[in-house]
Amino acid sequence: MAEAVLHPPRRTHTLTYNLEIAIGLFLAYCRSKNLSPKTVGYYAARLLAFSRFSVNRLTSIQEIDAAAIREFLTHEKETNSAATANHSLCTLRVFLGFLHAEGFLEENPAASVTRLKVKKRVIETFSPEQIEAVLRTCGRDFYGVRDRAVILTLLDCGLRASELCSLELADVDWQEQSFRVEGKGAKERIVPFGQGVRRALASYLAIRTENLPTRSLFVTQYGEPLTRYRLRDLVKRRCNRAGIEGVRPSPHTLRHTCAVSYLRSGGDTFTLQLLLGHTSQDMTRRYCESLSAADVQRKHRDFSPVDNMKGIAPRSGRKRLR
């Protein structure tokens, strides 16, 4: 009988090849399920990070276990953030679940891995004075009129950056005064807008060239579609000109401001969830936590259950006690 080999075999990089094939099959499956290109792209980015991390640590896909996943999540937390690590875990759960269903793995090793604790940050919003200061920087030239329309649309409708940039001229319903928005997961929803946005859009469209090769609603001065990166720079530039400090100058801060202002104005959380395109009430509850004690007191004065009941609400004037 041959003598047993005492030293471990030389590790090869077969995992890279195997994982690349598995990732390719998974992404093809996602496309066949008609997932949005943004979702597929995000899956691809997180799986590429996992592949690069694992290439010198594992020799086969079958070696991917809970310990390896936790090690990767720790790396993600240290190099990016705990939130990014949790996003990566969600991606791995879906990916490894697919491999398990297809017979590549006996089980899904990510199923037993728990999410990392993430510190809840205070939701940042712009104050009314800051919004007014930002709008004062918008002049009457093309950029000023367009930027005013963009900022008011984000503030009034709470759209995500990608949702605003994907709006087309045909998505504006002037009669119903609403947008047809394609949100996450290619889910469409109708988002109304107010009179202020209507006037701002009308002023913007009056100077937007009609015969452009693109049907995008918001464009550059050269007729190119407004991208998320240009939108981010647009908001940042206007905030810098207005001298805004202490708040992150981003389109998402305007989305947060929309949500909190909506609740302060008397809107309910269920309608807000539909307007923002959230699949659950989790984020909407966080917006409620941003309300101050004065907000709660004012809301209770307006919507007091007892005071609004007929026959129970206190009457004005004095009444003798018997």
Sole residue written with tokens 């705990």: 82
* Model pLDDT for residues 53-79, shown as the tens digit of each residue: 998 888 788 889 999 999 999 999 999
Cα–Cα distances in Å, from 313 out to 300, 307, 308, 310, 317? 14, 4, 6, 6, 13
Element (H, E) at 255: helix 251-264
Residue numbers in the chain where pLDDT is lower than 70: 1-17, 292-296, 299, 305-307, 309-322
Would you call 13 a catalytic residue per the annotation? no
Please count the other Cβ atoms lying within 10 Å of the Cβ belonging to residue 79: 11
Would you call 184 a catalytic residue per the annotation? yes
- Among candidate residues 70, 100, 184, 286, the one labeled active-site is 184
- Among candidate residues 230, 278, 286, 299, the one labeled active-site is 278
Would you call 75 a catalytic residue per the annotation? no
pLDDT of residue 43: 94
pLDDT of residue 288: 76
pLDDT of residue 17: 53
pTM: 0.70
pLDDT of residue 121: 74
pLDDT of residue 258: 92
Going by their DSSP bridges, the two strands 172-173 and 178-182 should be labelled as antiparallel
- Among candidate residues 146, 208, 238, 255, the one labeled active-site is 255
The pair of structure tokens assigned to 304 is 């007091």
Sole residue written with tokens 């609740």: 263
Nearest-10 crossing angle of helices 282-289, 269-276 = 120
pLDDT of residue 51: 92
Would you call 287 a catalytic residue per the annotation? yes
pLDDT of residue 248: 92
pLDDT of residue 292: 63
pLDDT of residue 110: 94
Complete domains list, the chain, with CATH: 14-101 (1.10.150), 128-302 (1.10.443.10)
DSSP structure class, residue 171: G
Would you call 160 a catalytic residue per the annotation? yes
- Among candidate residues 160, 208, 238, 256, the one labeled active-site is 160
- Among candidate residues 87, 100, 237, 252, the one labeled active-site is 252
Would you call 255 a catalytic residue per the annotation? yes
Is the CB of residue 57 less than 8 Å from the CB of residue 37?
no
